[in-house]
Amino acid sequence: MKISWMNRTDTTLGVKQFLLLKGVSQRLYSEVKQQPQAFYRNEQPITPAAQVAPGDQITVVFPPERPDPQLASSLHPLEVIYEDAHWLVINKPAGLTSVPGPSNRTDTVVNRVKGRLEQAGSENLRPHLVTRLDRFTSGIMLIAKDRLANNYATQQLADRTFHKEYLAIVSGRLTNQHDVITLPLGRRPGEIARAVLTTGQPAQTEYWVEQQTATATVVRVQLQTGRTHQIRAHFAALGHPLLGDQLYGGPMHAGMDRQALHALRIEWFDPFCQQLRKFTAPLPDDMLNYQ
């Protein structure tokens, strides 16, 4: 994979300094420079010790990402919302696991993405899941096809400039039309469910009421932090667990046999095209019934 950048500053920089400013991590830079010829300035080969003057174009040859031989490939289809050389956006159905685990090592999102990349003849065969979803949560997921794209996205997650929006159906009628839940979450030894603990990690969940029925409330949710089961645990702590969420005591409703949670939208800045990317995943049928 070759990527080119122009030095649009008025300062002469070293190759390493220039690439770090462009979002190349220290670790990735160290791997790249081990190649026999990885750097070019204005289409001429240079060494890592070269200087990058204002107006110079630097091209970097990134080494291919070889497949993990322990990771099986799956040819089961994915519902693709968007795809280009660096990104894959999918709509994950409820029931499909994001990553391999003891109960499923051969047909998860990661296995399917690897199979898709192999079929396409990609040189990078190690998928990077930027966002993950619980098995029974449906909705939008972003996969980076290479380490540089993953660096860009994970940095935005750390900076909280990567935006994720969910739709959930909680039991009962919420009193506030808009609120921010700020309860620390942790896990007690031996338990899977998260709980509000004074020793837990800080967690913030912002929500807006979209619709209410006599027994349930549809909420639009944005996460200010990314704790495991955050949405499910926070609403359960309020006394309004999600419909169908047996782990957190949610009531079972006709047509809803899993937690009523859908990753609706994602938004991030794409440095490759210098544009803001926005994508939405349509609601599945079991949640459309409540709209």
Active-site positions?
A: 134
Q: What kind of fold does domain 80-159 have according to CATH?
A: Pseudouridine synthase (3.30.2350)
Which band of pLDDT confidence, cut at 50, 70 and 90, is reported for residue 99?
Answer: very high
Joined tokens for residue 185: 């979450």
8-26: per-residue pLDDT in tens? 999 999 999 999 999 999 9
* Residues facing residue 222 across a β-bridge: 165, 206
Class of 2-61 in CATH: alpha beta
- Residue 95 φ then ψ, to 5°: 105, -20
CATH number corresponding to 164-263: 3.30.2350.10
Alpha helices in the chain (DSSP H): 15-21, 26-32, 109-119, 147-159, 230-237, 285-288
* Distance of alpha carbon 7 from alpha carbon 22, whole angstroms: 10
135-148: per-residue pLDDT in tens? 999 999 999 999 99
**C-alpha separations of 235 from 105, 168, 257, 276, 289 in Å:** 31, 10, 18, 31, 21
160-191 burial, b if ≥16 CB within 10 A, otherwise e? Answer: eebebbbbbbbbbebeeeeeebebebbbeeee
CA dihedral of 86, 89, 95, 97, whole degrees rounded to 10: 20
Instruction: Return the higher-pLDDT residue of 282 and 290.
Output: 282
Joined tokens for residue 95: 């029931």
Q: Where are the beta strands (DSSP E) in the chain?
A: 2-6, 13-14, 39-41, 44-46, 51-52, 57-61, 80-83, 87-92, 128-129, 138-144, 163-171, 178-182, 185-187, 194-196, 204-212, 216-223, 261-270, 275-280
Which band of pLDDT confidence, cut at 50, 70 and 90, is reported for residue 291?
Answer: low
Q: Average of pLDDT values for 33-52?
A: 93
Answer yes or no: is pLDDT of 255 > 90: no
Answer yes or no: is pLDDT of 290 > 80: no
Q: Which helix (DSSP H) or strand (DSSP E) does residue 107 occupy?
A: none
Answer yes or no: is pLDDT of 253 > 90: no
Answer yes or no: is pLDDT of 110 > 90: yes
Joined tokens for residue 39: 């750097």
Within 10 angstroms of residue 227's Cβ, the number of other Cβ atoms is 20
pLDDT for position 103: 86
Which band of pLDDT confidence, cut at 50, 70 and 90, is reported for residue 47?
Answer: very high
198-213: per-residue pLDDT in tens? 999 999 999 999 999 9
Domain with CATH 3.30.2350.10 in the chain: 80-159, 164-263
Domain with CATH 3.10.290 in the chain: 2-61
Rg (CA), the chain: 22
